[in-house]
Amino acid sequence: MPRTPATPADRSAVRSLLRLWPYVRPVRLRLSAAAFVAVLASCTGLVIPLVLKWMVDGPVADRDTAGVWLGALWLLLLGFAEALLFGMRRWLVARPLSHVEAEMRADLYGRLQRLPVAFHDRWPSGQLLSRATADLGLLRMFLAFPLTFLLVNSVTIVLGVAVMLVQDWRLGLVVLGPAVPVVVMCVLFERRYAHVARRAQDQVGDLTTVVEESVLGIRIIKGFGRHRTQARAFRELSRSLRGTELRKARLLATIWAVIVTLPELAIGAALVLGVVRVADGELSAGTLVAFLSTALALRWPVDSIGFLLAMSQEAATA
């Protein structure tokens, strides 16, 4: 069956996603405001470990109950502010991105209406239906989530690493140890996942074509006794799509395992080294608590890199 001529090898993911700019331009101010609010929320979360450091080295060490309650109040206010800012980000992007998706659907439909009949004879109807539904939904999800959080998580990681290095540069270097292998794995993952995602989307279109044509021509299929042939074609396409989706799952599981395991091992090593230094009097307990709290706060930005890259690749192929 006909396939889409564009492949990931023909155009990079960044160049493909830049084609969304004409639709994003009218709502760029709200998207920029949403990104700024999300960065501010992440920075608010990074202040929490510093408050914990003050509490442990100050009121807790001095057995000052009033100081502990004051620190707890600050933690509550910071947590509330972080949640409020993330909620504001969602409110800023919800309505404009729905409008962007509606504009893309309208333009696609208008384009299909203007194309000659010969084009529709060549292209399976299921491929067009898949592009008009699943692919446009992927683009909206990219604009709503990965586009913002790739920036937000990058800023959060840079600021968090800076905070850890200021607290103790030796422990910071221990935590930064897995950075190089994680970057290498992400580059390899991006190349492989792009091809598999393209193949899966084409197979979804082929499967949709079989289903749609079978439903619309059910009388003809029954009249000529072709139901077994259509059922066999459906099973073969379903089996191929299942294999492709399983390969996607294996690739995502591999990058997820690397991104999760290596930082966890680094945090464990930093914990052991930090405890030894606290016992030797080289490091305060509050500094160790703040350092580990910052490292744990960076777990989500680091762990999310895998599926954010996957969603970005799927959006680029869409």
Read off the tokens for 237.
């396409």
* Domain covering 13-317, topology: ABC transporter transmembrane region fold (1.20.1560)
Helices 146-167 and 169-176: crossing angle, nearest 10°? 140
Tokens 């895998």: give the residue: 306
Percent of the chain with pLDDT over 70: 87
Helices 136-144 and 305-317: crossing angle, nearest 10°? 140
Read off the tokens for 124.
């399976």
* Angle in degrees, CA 157, 161, 165, rounded to 5: 175
Name which residue leads in pLDDT, 69 or 116: 69
* pLDDT at residue 2, as a whole number: 42
**Does 7 have pLDDT greater than 60?**
no
Mean pLDDT calculated for residue range 158-166: 85
Q: How confident is the model over 221-255, as pLDDT tens digits?
A: 666 767 777 778 788 888 888 888 888 888 878 87
191-226: buried (b, 16+ CB within 10 Å) or exposed (e) per residue?
eebbebbbbbbbbbbbbbbbebbbeeeeeebeeeee
Read off the tokens for 142.
């990219």
Read off the tokens for 243.
């294999």
* pLDDT at residue 174, as a whole number: 83
Classify residue 113 as exposed, middle or buried by CB count within 10 Å of its CB (0-12, 13-18, 19+): exposed
What is the spatial distance between Cα 60 and Cα 115, in angstroms, rounded to a whole number?
73
- The domains of the chain are located at 13-317
Indicate the pLDDT class of residue 130, thresholds 50, 70 and 90: low
